[in-house]
Amino acid sequence: MKIKGMRWWIVVLLFFAAVLNYIDRQTLSALAPTIQLDLKMNDNDYANVINIFLVAYTIAYLISGRIADKIGTRKAMLIFVAWWSLANMFTAAAKGVTSLGVYRFMLGLGEAGVWPAASKAVSEWFPAKERGIAIGLYTMGATIGATIAPYLVIPLATHAYTETMPVVTGILGQGTGWKLAFILTGLAGLIWLIPWHLTYAKPEKSTLITSSELNMIQAAEANENPDDLVAKNAWSWKAVLMFRGTWLLLIGRLITDPVWYFYQFWFPKYLSADRGLSQESLKITWIIYAAAGIGSLLGGLLSGYIIKKGGKAPNSRMWVMLGCACIMPLSPFIANVTNLNLSIVLTFCTVLASLAWLTNIGSLVVDVVPKHSLGTVFSVVAAGSTIGGIIMNMMVAAMVSQDNSTSAGFLDQGLHVMFSPFLSLVQGNGYLQWFIIMAFLHPIAWLVLKVGGVHTLSALKK
């Protein structure tokens, strides 16, 4: 059986993988007030658990892309999704901050792999003019997962199980609701493995692709990357680290990805602490994640449109990213305005711009790196993302903490040695400081990429 437009069905599967990835990730932040109360965790404990996840995420990024390059996209994705789904289910067994940290560490080891593997899938199935749209679509899956997560897990966490399901309460004990949320969302990932296993292969090996689509993909590949048809050997680690684009893109993501991490991990807590929203009212965060989904798709569509009009792919990404950078200075007004609705509107704009940026900087990696080494380079670049997230997390935790005490976690103690003077400066001054910082991150990163000439690397990538 042949399926018309098979490449878009591949994106559908990547989309749902991203949805599940972010539901599993956002379950903790959506239920943070409930879980912190149940496990007797303060904000420093919460920040430490997030950092443990991000450390695992960073480690996994550094190796998962290499794994995808070595064993292939199909097998790699099966391993990554199965791993993180099981880790998410085991989170239900957490009894305190230490065990919760262990399970989130395991989750981070699996979740990072989906992104280099997905980028490889796009490079294998899509021409340059469609890559931004494809990446935008599966990135939108991540934001949709974050959007619907509160609506899935908050009702599960607040349901009266002792009255309606006493047997389940007897098995899971205290915290039945949030524990069941982790179990069910993890189970969904295991179900996803079935269609991926049955359908994914490279275009030339797929039994489902039509001859016309295969010819289109191969013709585009021959036209865009003629040297790739000869050079099949993956870059060594030395070649990856000597490639200027690796470091430019790494710095770009290190500077800007903390914005999206903040909205994932801290924005619900900001709404609760500074805006007085209850656990039930935090469902309003769906608006923010919907903005992220729109931004992901819009960013890909805009750069794809410029390419179709004759623009070079890297230049097209940079033009869209410049527009995004010009929107981000709205960030401080989010915390300054007194009206909640206006604050949400401003957040909608900045989140949309942030995700349109993320789609295009991800597309830049695919544009300037040959397919045989894409997973490895993507992993190194993405490691910069999580390092930036760790730094952001430490800073925000200090900003919202009223004293200089740290949690017992090794991350807070170790990082405070390096950043202690700065953390003391921002200690206890609230979320506004971070909203001010966010105004400048994307403009600075765009200048770094522009001056570094990342848009000129496509002709030199071989």
Give bridge partners of residue 209 from the DSSP assignment.
Answer: 3
Q: What pLDDT sits at residue 406?
A: 46
Q: Residue 220 contacts by C-beta under 8 Å, 6 or more apart in sequence?
A: 127, 128
What is the 8-class DSSP label of residue 321? H
pLDDT of residue 229: 41
pLDDT of 99 strictly over 70: yes
| Phi, psi at 3, each rounded to 5° | -115, 120
pLDDT at 409 over 50: no
Q: Which residues pair with 3 in a beta bridge?
A: 209
Unique residue bearing structure tokens 């010819």 = 215
pLDDT tens-digit readout, 60-70: 888 888 888 88
User: Which band of pLDDT confidence, cut at 50, 70 and 90, is reported for residue 407?
Assistant: very low
245-272 pLDDT tens trace: 889 999 999 999 999 989 887 888 888 8
User: Which carries the bigger pLDDT value, residue 424 or residue 430?
Assistant: 430
pLDDT at 399 over 80: yes
- 231 in Cβ contact with 462 (< 8 Å): yes
- Residue 308 CA to its chain's centroid (Å): 28
Summarize the confidence of residues 231-244 as an average pLDDT: 78
pLDDT digits (tens, 9 = 90+) for 333-368: 999 998 999 999 999 999 999 999 998 998 888 888
Please report which confidence band the pLDDT of residue 325 belongs to, taking 50, 70 and 90 as the band edges.
very high
- Domains in the chain, please, with CATH? 6-224+234-456 (1.20.1250.20)
Q: How far apart are CA 27 and CA 188, in angstroms?
A: 13
Query: 122-177, pLDDT tens digit by residue?
Result: 888 888 778 888 888 888 888 788 778 878 888 877 765 666 677 666 666 666 77
Mean pLDDT throughout 298-325? 89
Flag the least confident range among 42-46, 109-113, 343-347, 354-358: 42-46
Nearest to 116 by CA among 88, 150, 77, 86: 77
pLDDT reported for residue 460: 43
- Helix, strand, coil % in the chain, rounded to nearest 5: 85, 0, 15
Paired tokens of 4? 């018309």
Whether the predicted pLDDT of 44 surpasses 60: yes
Q: pLDDT grade, residue 414 (50/70/90)?
A: low
Given this model, what pLDDT does residue 170 score?
66
Q: Looking at this protein, which amino acid is placed at residue 414?
A: G
pLDDT band for 116, please (50, 70, 90 cuts): confident
The encoded tokens of residue 311 equal 């623009």
72: left (phi over 0), alpha (psi -120 to 50) or beta: left
Yes or no: say if 349 and 358 are a contact pair by the CB < 8 Å rule.
Answer: no
pLDDT recorded at residue 225: 59
Contact 52, 412 (CB under 8 A): no
Decide: 206 and 73 in contact? Cβ < 8 Å.
no
User: Phi and psi for 361 in degrees, rounded to 5?
Assistant: -70, -30
Three-class secondary structure of residue 209 per DSSP: strand
Q: Angle at which helices 128-158 and 6-30 pack, to 10 degrees?
A: 40
